[in-house]
Structures are given as C-alpha cells and as structure tokens.
Structure 1
Amino acid sequence: MRTIAVVNQKGGCGKTTVSINLASALAARGLRTLLVDMDPQGHCAVGLAVPEEQIEQSIYDVMVGESCGEPLRISEMVWKICDNYDLAPGSIDLAAFEQQMAGVEDREECLKRALSEVAGDYDYAVIDCPPSVGSLTFNAIKASSDVIVPVDTGYFSLHGLSKQLSTLSVLSQQCDNEINVMVLASMYDVRTKMGREILGELKKHFGDKMFKTVVNFNTKLKEAASLGQPISEYDPASKGCKDFNALADELVSTDSRAERAEMVESLQAKLDAISASADELLATAGVTETSTASATATMDEKLADFYGVRKLDDAVVFVSLYPRAEEVQIAGDFNGWQPEKTPMQKGEDGTWHVKLPLAAGRYRYRMVVDGQWQQDPYNEITEMNPFGECNSVVEVH
C-alpha cells in the first residue's frame, strides 16, 4: 500500500480539497483507496457528506485503542464512500491525542501500526494532516511513503514556506524510511498577474521537486465540497475534475518501486533542497522578513492579486471577486451578524475588499452579495450552520 500524507501547517491552502479529490480520482481508476482524516476539525467527513452525529468512532479510537486496552482496527470503523473509496474519519478527540498518549512508548507510530493491519486491503492511503505541527503530523509522516505539500499561488502563501518545509524536515529526521516529497501548486488563478508570476517562479526553482499538474482555482470545487461530494461526482466535466485526474495519473505513473527507488532521496536531503529553492524564490518575489514593511505599504496595490482572507500585521484582509455585484457586505461573529456594519469596497477590476482589526480568535462569517447570503467562495475552511448551509471560518492567531 502506498501511503501519501498531504501536509501544510498553513490553513486555507486547499489541503483537504486535495486529499478528498485525489483519493476520489485514485478510486475511480479502480485502485482501492483509503482516506484518513487526521485533522481534529474533521473536514473530510463534512466534505463527503458523512453526518458528524453518526460518527461513533474515529481514527483517534484506532490510534489509542491498544494503549487503552480496547484495540480497534481501521476496517471496523471506516465509512464506505463509493466503490474503492473508504474514509477513516477524524474527530475533535484527535486534539487530545498528544495528552492522552504522553509517556506511551512509540506513540509516534500509532498510525503506522494501524495502517499496516489493512495494508493488504488497499492500494493507496491518503492522509489529510492538520494545519499544525505536532504528534498527529509526525504520526502521518512516519506512516507515509510520500508527502505532498500543497502551496496556493497567492502572494502571502510564500511567507514562511521555507520555514514550514524546514519544520517538516526537523520532524522527519527521526524517520527511518525514505520519503518522496513533492510540492503541488494549488488554488491557481490564471486571471491574476501575481498568480501567474508565482507559478512561474515555483516551476523555475522547484523543478523536479514539483508536480507538473497544477490544481486551478475552480468554483466547482467549492460547490462540490459544500454539498459533500468529490468533484468527480459533482461535475466530472469541470476543470477541477480534470486537474485531479491528471494529478492521480502523474502520481500513479511513479508507482513502480524500482523507478521510485531511483528518484527518492532521503527526506532530509529532499527538504534541504526545497528549502533552499524556497529561500531563493522568496528573494526573487521580494517577500523576505526585511521587505515586510514595503510589502505592507503596497498592500492596497496588491489586493487584486489574491482572493480570500489573509492576516496582515494588525488586520485581517478579506478579498473577493464579484464584478457584477452592486453591493457586497460581510456578516459574522465580529459584527453581530449585521452585514450593514461591514460593507466591502469595490475596486475597478471587480474585486471587493475590506480590512478588519480582529483580535486573536476563531470567527465565522458569510458574504452578503446584493442581499444574498453565501459562503466565501475563496475560503475552503467552513462549518455547517443550523440552517443547513456553510459558514466560512477564519482563525486569527
């Protein structure tokens, strides 16, 4: 069984979208595929319409079962999504894993042992890791043969990229297995000059450490996730579906163990090379610690170069594209869900933006476009609300 961890400690980079739809594309090729959700937020279940209230056991129960005297196999708790596609759901209990397993010997190999028991049942396992570094991510790395690092092609995604990869390298130094690490450009918006320039630099500097496939920004992917469907089921003719089919094909084409033995370096060497490329890329793009001030000064000029929500010094910036809208507002926890309190400003190119000085915390919000309430199409972090729709979520640290 080939095991692939999708890792990025930065939220909003399309990590869960990649995990769900890559697993779906692999299953569509007749490959028995297991999706493992290691994120305490349990977004994979939401994205596949698995009712949270019906999830009685999660991957947490499997990982801690042996130490608690209640062993549980993955095969006993998986949800069958469709032919060749199973989900081992996550749960909020995962947030307590590190505390629960403190002092337990080999606790970083809990997931590896659990997956080894079902290795004969699947061809592929895809692990959606949490957007943080800790025991859960370390468990995923220890269990994996491959690591995919999705990087969205927005301006601020380059901040900390090298640091994030270096952190991953430190985590993996204790791994005794060789792991192939690849960077995946995701949420690419061909309409923006900044996106095109960053993609060009990624290709230039990362070379063979980067997938040839690029996952384009596609509203169909957002719609599919909000309806609890992989893109292959929601709209098989969409650009998003074609991108993930291409990614699955590219991944499968390297499945020959002999071929992979030649291309795989030690994880440490691989990440050192990627980190060096990231440093060079940051310098090329002018996004370094010493240039933060100048980047902030020109932020207003760059608002049209990315969409979504970003933290910028002492403010959170929301940017969206509604070229035909007459009025766009935001309603959320930060304004008592009163959209008239937070109108967005329209740019000449059809983008709408607003800066809010939000304190540290977790905020739910929705866009109100000409009176119509909807989730933010450029933010993949969502949660269901009491009305059966999705609120967008932003976490400010």
Structure 2
Amino acid sequence: MTSRAPLHIGSLELGSPVVLAPMAGITNVAFRTLCREIETARAGSTAGLYVCEMVTARALVERNEATMHMTTFGPTETPRSLQLYTVDPRYTYEAARMIVEEDLADHIDMNFGCPVPKVTRKGGGAALPYKRNLFGQIVAAAVRATEGTSIPVTVKFRIGIDADHPTHLDAGRIAEGEGAAAVALHARTAAQRYSGVADWDEIARLKQHVTTIPVLGNGDIFAAEDAERMMTSTGCDGVVVGRGCLGRPWLFAELSSRLNGKPVPEPPRLGEVAEIMHRHAELLVDHHGEHKGTREMRKHIAWYLRGFPAGSDLRSALALVESLAQLKSLLSELDPEVPYPAAAEGPRGRQGSPGKVMLPDGWLEDPDDCAVPQGADLMHSGG
C-alpha cells in the first residue's frame, strides 16, 4: 500500500483525501463527532473533511432557527465545513459574507447535485448547472464574499440532468474559472438519482478537463478498496463518501488508513457496534435533547444492525426507543462476540429507481438565461 500526498483545498491541508458528504438528517454535529472519535481511536488521527448538513443560503441569511441549529459545530471540530444550497447570487454572497464575518465555518461547499423532484422542479440542485451563466454568477458571488480570507469555496455537482443533457464538464470549467478551490462530481445524472452504478469514467474526464484545482469523486464508495480503486482508475485527488457510511461511522478510519498506506483496522464485532450505537445516541441527545435525540437515533438502527443476527422483536423495540436508558438495556441483549458479517458489506441507503427529472417549464430552452428560479430558495435546510 502506498501513502498518498495530503489533499490541499485552498488553505486547507487534509491528511486524508476523504470527505464526508452532507446528508440531510444524518451529518449533524453528533454524527461528525462520532466519525472523528472513531477515526482518531482506530486510525490514530482525524485527517479528513467532515461536512455538515446542507443549509439553504437564504434561510441562513434570514437566521431561520432550525437552520442556525444545523450549523452547530463541536468545540474542537476543525476544519468546520458548511454546505450551502443556493440558487441566487445575491443570497449566496450574503450567506458567505455572514459566514466570514461571524466566523461560522472554515470551508464553504455549494451543492448543485440534489436530484430530489421538489428541488429540481423549481430549478435548484442538479437542475441549476444547466443555466451555466447563472451557475457561474453564483460561484463567483461566494468566491467574492470570501476574498481575502482563508475560507475556500468548493462546488459539488452531478454529471448532468440526464444522458442527453450533461453539464459536468462545463460546470467544472466554470467553477475553476470563477475561483473555486476544488470541485466534486457525483458520477450519476439527476435522472439516475441513486440507482445503478456510478460512472467513474466521467470523473476521469472531469479530471482531464479541470487541471488547476483538485477534483474529487463521489459515488459507490462502500469500502476502503473502493476509494483506492476510484483514485487509481480516475486520477481524482480525493473521494466523497455518502451512503457508504450509514451505520458505519468507522468507515472513515478504514479509508484514512488505506489511503495513507497503513493497515486497515478490523471491522468491529457486535459488542463494539452496540457501544458505538449508544455513543451516537448520547451525542444526538446532547444536540437535540433526549426526546428528539432518541427518536433521531431510530432511523440509524437498521443500518447499524445490517447483516447481524438480531431478532425481529429486538429490532422492533430498538426502532421505537424513547430514552438512553431503554436503548442501553436493549443493546445489552445483543451477543457482543458476533464478528462483523459479510452481509453488512456493499451498497446501503436509498437507491430507488431512475426517473424523469422534474424541471420548471421551459428550463431547457435557454442555457444562457441568468434569471433566478422563483421559489427555489424557500425550501427548508437539510434537503
């Protein structure tokens, strides 16, 4: 195994070329803290970049209470990475200035990859890069707002709307030209959503097209071997991991070790998984309070226990947990010596089916139109 050079994104130097992708309701301060703790314990340090849940630029500027809560970072969390969903250069600039002036984060990422119909039908997310001039104005606004600071701006996008409307090469070129510090490509179209297989060849094409800033690859990273294979086959400078870490916050320790030429830690036995689950719940309770925190934990249960022997009654009880004490009691019923099962490997999280991308009327008629899509910035933060 060969150790890879540190990844530089503007002023940031990352000891591991691994980025946690923002996921709504998942990558809050509790989950990020947990991933960092495990990476430190199992790999010896925290080296990658952990991005918070996506927040809407307009909601941030207007100080929406839920949005402000989502921008919470741990007291020792560094670098603090915040992702903006945005469709309007004005709110982009104002949100980025707010981040600078109030010291809210050390890194700004912008999301142009969301394929959810409620987002694309208003011209946001993966639909927006098709409007290349508007896309460029938005990137330029964020870069202008952070000028003279150490806060880098990065941009994430998909291959395009569908196979007939690719946008990633233009988006990469425009982002690079407007001063973005790195770009990341989820190697699927919006029409694919999360189905099928990511087309890593398009990451390689983008890497050949964008030559002065790092290019990160996203899509189908479910194990340390996947990350190394993506970087080797595409030449990309780093990997972005989303669904692969659901119920596996220790994945980052494995990725960091593999990409830094160190032995990959053994996967945890069920007893350690139970301890991690309890720690995750504790951190969620610290962030949300016990009532909401334990309910937020429920959705993680099936991901954590995937492939492990745990009876249906116990799984059902865990999925209805209402307190930390109840969770601890139920977890004690698991056999701590069960090894990590092969059935837990591979794709996880939502996959769904491909489908037609919902777009505003006439969206595809003029890619040079700079009009800000109406109502697309009124969605709640988180996706």
Taking structure 1 as the reference length, the TM-score comes to 0.33
Taking structure 2 as the reference length, the TM-score comes to 0.34
Decide which structure has greater strand share: 1
